[in-house]
Amino acid sequence: MRCRVAILLGCLLAAAVAAAEMPMAKIAGGRYARPLEKSGQVREVPSFYLDVRQVTNAEYLAFVKLHPEWQRTRVNRLFADNGYLRHWAGDTELGPLAPSEAPVTNVSWFAARAFLKAQGKRLPTLDEWEFVARADERRVDATGEGEFRKRILTWYSKPMPEVLPSAESMPANIYGVRGMHGLVWEWTSNFVASMSGGESRSDGSPEGPLFCGGAATDPNQAIEYADFMRVAFRSSLQGSFCLGGLGFRGAKDASDSIDPSP
């Protein structure tokens, strides 16, 4: 009995430490146009908090120890496909392919939501993610800079390494947020928002591309290829998918209280 209590307390302590070690950046809201959106609508993004890096293997390990229903051999396959945590050595063992400080990948949208709910957080919306992803080290919107786009495309052109580096390894942008580009793709709460249904379009398009992500986009220039890659990738996803290059980070509304960043 004492042993079980000790294990439970250890899991609780690990989860608490993991949550405490994840600082968030406050993002001042503003207006922006979603990349490639055919309507060109200017969207209002309210202020919010965003994790300064992706959730790591160590943090996710603490979560599955406390919530065994999300361990690899116990997870409901409706919520995570067979690739779920496949790079881990076991249910509660990371192994050489999953360094503790690297972003956790091979997690589904459902699993990411469950982790963040346990932390009192949520996934960022598509607009929140894209709003922050425009920034480089010096500007809140570097999308018009050739060097910025070149860096993104260079990353897209390379195969994903078998073993990912630390989530802290990428330079921080002007918000203090790391790795929006260059490390892993990330889930958003409404990742299918880049798709369009026929009822939302007024261009009289035929039924063929009714659920095609490309129907919602308006790529006009080669420099928009990076944006098109993200739209195409998100449009290919389902909530149960678990991919080696797909991780996540948390967000909170600005009205929520958070612990001060270290």
In eight-state DSSP terms, residue 119 is T
Q: What is the pTM of this model?
A: 0.82
In eight-state DSSP terms, residue 198 is G
Q: What is the CATH number of domain 24-193+217-252?
A: 3.90.1580.10
Interacting residues of 68 by C-beta distance below 8 A, sequence separation 6+: 74, 91
Mean pLDDT by groups of 10 residues along the chain of 262 residues? 49 50 91 80 94 98 98 97 97 97 98 97 96 96 91 90 96 97 96 57 41 50 74 92 97 77 46
Q: What are the tokens at 18?
A: 């993991």
Structural domain spans, the chain: 24-193+217-252
